[in-house]
Amino acid sequence: MTGSVKQPRSAREAALHALVRYEQDLAYLNLALPAVVDHLPEDERALAVYLAGGTIQRLNTIDWALNLYSRRPIDSMTPWVRNLLRLSAYQLLYMERIPAYAAVNEAVKLARRYGHRGVAGLANALLRRLSAETGDLPWPERGKAAEKYLALKYSIPEWLVVRMLKRYSLEETESWAQASNLKPPVSIRPNRLENSPEELQDKLAAAGIETIPSATVPGMLIYPGGSDPAGTEFFRSGLYTIQGESSALVAPLLDPNPEDTVIDLCSAPGGKTTHLAELMDDRGQIFAVEMQKSRLQLIEKAVARLNLQSVQPILADGRKVDRDKVPVPTAILVDAPCSGLGVIRRLPEIKWRRKEADLQELQTLQLELLDAAAHILLPGGKLLYSVCTTEPEETSHVIEEFSRRHPDFELENLHPLIPGSLQAKLETGPAITTWPHRHKLDGFFIARWRKNS
């Protein structure tokens, strides 16, 4: 195949390039797509993004359906053929507004461009057969093979479904799986140092951009679909930050004061760091720690765009912060590296790349970061832990083990600090867990301790 040297001519071809990059280079689509869609008309760019994202979202179901009718296993094909078939199958299975004949014909054209006569014939025969069977696929029985049914019906790794079924009922697990495929809204956080939510909403409306207040997180605005919130002059001039609603819950739960000295031990790309600075009226001191230089540059860029003066980026491993470089903090945020399984509706690539064994390894790292924070925190200081996952190894098990290791830290109840619209829907206990199916939010876990004097 010579597809890597061809410039995409259409949305489908651009999506194909992105899917091959996803597979061969382990690229995330949001990084792979711009280079292959920038030269296309706006409507073609939007379609390419939709096609590539949907194909990854439904990957296991698509492969299962193709393998039902293919003489050769999909995994034995070249990346270009395999991903062309996946892309076309997604249209047949999930995009009713695209006629089946159009999806098949476009696939055959691409097969000729990226292969040979035999590839075109394979694509034509296989996709036509799949098209004829789309309404009669042999799904596993929900009652007899719940794990397989949910995994294929809702495109979730079976190991993850099994874990959920051990903790929750079949009905709730199905609700979670279904919600994990729903596209989340784009939300923005007004820079409170520059404008209130109402003022920003008025400015955007005057430019023809109609936003609505978040029904769940006060102060956040929901940005309209189909447009790029990073492409406006309002964003470039620092009037707002693009941030998920669950993520925007985190910084306020540290309850920072303008006089505080705060360390953010895992600060890239800077959303929570800059939120802290805004909540502190850009006073006090915030040390943004990040161990990768390229990611530290993301923080520096965000700080400059928002014109913040209180944030000092530091290139360091959060587990080994040099005490000579930072004063003793009164508060620490550990927004730790995690599996990311709470945000698979935003980044579907995650669910296919994570393995169950990763959870224990990540727990080790999370506890190392918390232990490091415990040693440098001022007595009476606050330690906030957050992860974008709901898996026990990274959530309840972490707080239990940290509390065991550090009896001088008291776990505090965060529920009174949560917006009232959320409080009644949360599980009991001092920590906070949000879910896509219960709260229409990303899956997040947040806990806070206070170090005893």
Q: Which residues are catalytic?
A: 388
Q: Please report, for residues 77, 154, 164, the alpha-carbon distance to residue 347 in angstroms, rounded to integers and kept in the order given.
A: 26, 15, 19
At residue 255, what is the residue type? D
For β-strands 212-213 and 285-290, DSSP reports them as unpaired
Q: How far is Cα 205 from Cα 219, in angstroms, rounded to an integer? A: 16
Instruction: Give yes or no for a cis peptide into 269 (omega within 30° of 0).
Output: yes
DSSP 8-state secondary structure symbol assigned to residue 344: T
> Which token pair is 76?
């034995």
Q: Where are the beta strands (DSSP E) in 186-336?
A: 186-190, 212-213, 221-223, 240-242, 261-264, 285-290, 311-315, 331-335
Residue 241 bridge partners (DSSP): 189
| Burial class of residue 302 in the structure, from the number of CB atoms within 10 Å of its CB (0-12 exposed, 13-18 middle, 19+ buried) | buried
Cβ proximity of 111 and 84 under 8 Å:
yes
Residue recorded with tokens 């959920």:
164
Burial of 76 by CB count in 10 Å (0-12 exposed, 13-18 middle, 19+ buried)? Answer: exposed
